[in-house]
Amino acid sequence: MKRSLLRLPDDLHRKLKAAAGRERRSLHDEILVLLERGLAAETGQPAAALISSESRPGRPVLVITDLSDLRGPAGGKIVLPERLDPNLAGVVFDLEEPSLLAEAYQLVLTQAAGAWDLATWLNAARLIEAWHLLYLPAEVRQAWEEIHPALTIARPQSV
């Protein structure tokens, strides 16, 4: 991932910081999301941001920038592409079975190669519904929750 020093006019910096605060994102993540959304609008393709991870050097976390782009199947049975995990080639995931939905979603969230994988195999409503059940690396969970606060809001309250 390339790093650059970006100098922003004070008024633009204030607006970006306010937007980031409203969305509960870091300023860095807000800029990435806005850039990705702008590029996605140009190409008509779903956009995803790459969030660097200190504990996973060389393996940034891929996060879709707009949950509404996740239009994968909400139910039924799916077979994920072999490139996501060759060991699971041909395995059928029944999305009506919570444990199989969780397994499929965990795999896609950790192994997706691009926004297209996320948009094709994940469904926004089902992701929000199952989020608290997913076993994910801390960096993956944190990156997704920073960009999409709706995921943390959906988490059931402990008794």
Does 3 reside within a domain? no
Does 158 reside within a domain? no
The domain of 57 spans 10-153
Does 90 reside within a domain? yes
The answer on pLDDT for 61 being more than 60 is: yes
Which residue bears the tokens 């393709």?
45
The model's pTM is 0.70
Does 130 reside within a domain? yes
Residue 19: exposure state from Cβ atoms within 10 A (0-12, 13-18, ≥19): middle
Does 45 reside within a domain? yes
How many domains are there within the chain? 1
pLDDT tens string 91-111: 999 999 999 999 999 999 999
Does 1 reside within a domain? no
